[in-house]
Amino acid sequence: MSIVKAEIRPGAYFDSVVLMQLQRALADLPGVEDAGVVMGTEANKELLEQSGLLAPAIQAAKADDLVIVVRAQDEATAEEALAQVDQLLTRRRSTLQQAYRPKSLAGAAEMLPDARWVLISVPGRYAAGVARDALNLGKNVFLYSDNVPLNDEIGLKEQAKAQGLLVMGPDCGTALVNGVGLGFANRVRRGPIGVVGASGTGLQLVTARIHQLGSGITHGLGTGGRDLSEAVGAITARQGLDLLCRDPETRVILLISKPPSPAVAESLLRLARLTGKPVVVNFIGYQAPAAQEGNLRFAATLDQAAALAVQLAEQAPGPAEAPASSPSLPFAPGQRYLRGLFSGGTLAYEALLILQDYLGTVHSNAPLPGGPKLENPHESQGHTIVDLGEDEFTVGRLHPMLDNDLRIRRLLQEAEDPETAVLLLDVVLGYGAHPDPASELAPAIAEARSRAQAGGRHLEVVAVVVGTDEDPQDREAQIQRLTEAGARVESSNEAAVRAVGELLRPLDNPSGLPPVDLAVLQEPLAAINVGLESFTESLLAQEAPVIHVDWKPPAGGNERLMGILAKMKGK
């Protein structure tokens, strides 16, 4: 008659792959009919009961206890099997050679200072603490662990965003960084397509299909399945889009997700429109407005998304051929904002519309419907377009098409702001307008640029001249004088605004927080692994430097002691 015997090891920790392999090794021993190696959670006890492996001693096991149980043909065989556990564990560990395994992240970071990444696959209740330690060391996080509380995910991602770091996950199963696969990833060729995926198997499928179709991947950035929820707000997806937008090797971006929050999806699509690159979108269950919308292409399936990305990549210019997003201008650190000073209300409104393709939030005293309105029209906020012809500016004074005084004062005011990078203004000619606007605006432009230069800054000025060669102001003379003052002059409002958009898009950072350093994608990947040993083996197989941490639950998994330790660490 079969007999079931169990061994309880309080506070023992091994990663889940090791436990699975130990379970299989025990089950393969002669005379052993079945085996179980699990942590003593209530859910695992139920599974053992269903398998006929729930020995009476197991009922007292705690969630942090390791439960080893066998069903064998007789008691001697069962005892002999349990006696081989340590030998089997030693044999498993000997397959992964490493002279020394640090006990902490800090120790691993000292051993491999070039590591920008920490891979985390410990049980969910410990994962957030390990991830915080990684962020505090300035490391980006690939968080494979699931069952991480939502509040912890939000807190980790907010901290990472503030530090200019990435947290991919929790429950992030797949990523590709500079040719190295993290977690579960396929071996694919390098190429021009970058992927941001809130779906692990979805990211695997599209990258594999892109490879099969003859193209390749720059990077595949996982986010975790909850990233596009209302609560999380696509923090990692937004960072991923920004990274791929700035990556010169990525010519086409592919954005995939399990069903997203509609509001978050719309917000992410607005950001995708600002990338300046073709973006293929496959949001499962999302009702796309059309197959094509500006630089966005919508696909109904993952296969369609992969095929469309490959097609667009074949049409897109290579990195060497691609036009620069903006001329290399010597803007000082902190210079990043547009200040538009318009006399024409319609031109100001059109500028706001066009800038949606380039910049995030643009404030105005006459905003687009639903757009942000200036709290004080006399003071700019971030990117600002001011219609100086609005009522608040014209009460008791001439319209700015006749009187340049107010605009000149505002122009010089903006030039003193160390965050101002570009000034944009219209110069309207014709009957009834100022007889010689450049005679006043050109000296003001020269003075504004001179003041910025004295402060160690470069000030770019772009002007659109509205008029004809038959206007009484002498259009060519107006253009010449503005140009001599240092302004870039356009005859089309659209051309002027798009020129400004191209100048500022690389500088735009609506959050004001540090962006993720592009080097995290461009430098050879080196990592620290905490959790599944198989992830270390995978990185070694890809010839990526990696240190495996000999991690154990803090305080032996005792939640009361863990809380005390956490409070002490907080001090």
Whether 570 is covered by a domain: the verdict is no
Per-residue pLDDT of the chain (571 residues; tens, 9 = 90+): 789 999 999 877 777 778 888 899 999 999 999 999 988 888 888 988 898 998 888 888 887 788 999 999 998 998 999 999 888 877 655 445 555 789 899 999 999 999 999 999 998 889 999 999 999 999 999 999 998 999 999 999 999 999 999 999 999 999 999 999 999 999 999 999 999 999 889 999 999 999 999 999 999 999 999 999 999 999 999 999 999 999 999 999 999 998 899 889 988 998 898 888 999 999 987 777 777 888 899 999 999 999 999 999 998 776 544 443 444 578 998 899 999 999 999 999 999 999 987 888 899 999 999 889 999 999 999 999 999 999 999 888 899 999 999 999 999 999 999 999 999 999 999 999 999 999 999 999 999 999 999 999 999 999 999 999 999 999 999 999 999 999 999 999 999 999 999 899 878 776 667 889 999 999 999 999 999 988 999 999 999 999 999 998 875 555 555 555 555 565 4
**For the chain, give me the number of helices (H) and strands (E)?**
20, 22
Same domain as 345, residue 213? no
Whether 561 is covered by a domain: the verdict is no
Whether 514 is covered by a domain: the verdict is no
Strands 140-143 and 460-466: unpaired
Same domain as 157, residue 66? no
Same domain as 361, residue 293? no
Q: What is the pLDDT of residue 43?
A: 84
Whether 502 is covered by a domain: the verdict is yes
Domain hosting 118: range is 105-320+519-556
Same domain as 417, residue 547? no
SS3 assignment, position 220: strand
Strands (E), 209-336: 217-222, 252-257, 279-283, 292-293, 296-298
Q: Compute the distance between CA of residue 522 and CA of residue 440 in angstroms, rounded to an integer.
A: 49
Whether pTM exceeds 0.85: no
Same domain as 461, residue 349? yes
547: domain CATH number is 3.40.50.261
SS3 assignment, position 410: helix
Same domain as 130, residue 252? yes
Whether 121 is covered by a domain: the verdict is yes
Give me the residues paired with residue 362 across strands: 382, 383
Give me the residues paired with residue 37 across strands: 68
Same domain as 310, residue 392? no
Give the count of alpha carbons within 13 A of 495, CB side only: 9
Q: Which of 34, 66, 93 is the last residue of a domain?
A: 93
Whether 434 is covered by a domain: the verdict is yes
Same domain as 418, residue 294? no
Q: Nearest CA to 519 among 16, 170, 117, 63?
A: 117
Q: Which of 93, 118, 148 is the last residue of a domain?
A: 93
Strands (E), 429-556: 460-466, 487-490, 527-530, 546-548
One-letter amino acid at 341 equals L
Q: Which of 466, 485, 507 is the last residue of a domain?
A: 507
Query: Residue 373 carries which DSSP code?
Result: B
| Tokens describing residue 418 | 């160390």
Q: What is the pLDDT of residue 96?
A: 52
Q: What is the pLDDT of residue 321?
A: 45
Same domain as 497, residue 545? no
Whether 424 is covered by a domain: the verdict is yes
71: domain CATH number is 3.30.1360
Q: Domain tally for the chain?
A: 3
Same domain as 149, residue 212? yes
Q: What is the pLDDT of residue 563?
A: 59
Residue 347: partners with Cβ closer than 8 Å, 6 or more residues away: 426, 464, 466, 493
Whether 329 is covered by a domain: the verdict is no
Same domain as 290, residue 413? no
Residue 360: partners with Cβ closer than 8 Å, 6 or more residues away: 271, 274, 383, 508, 510
Same domain as 488, residue 343? yes
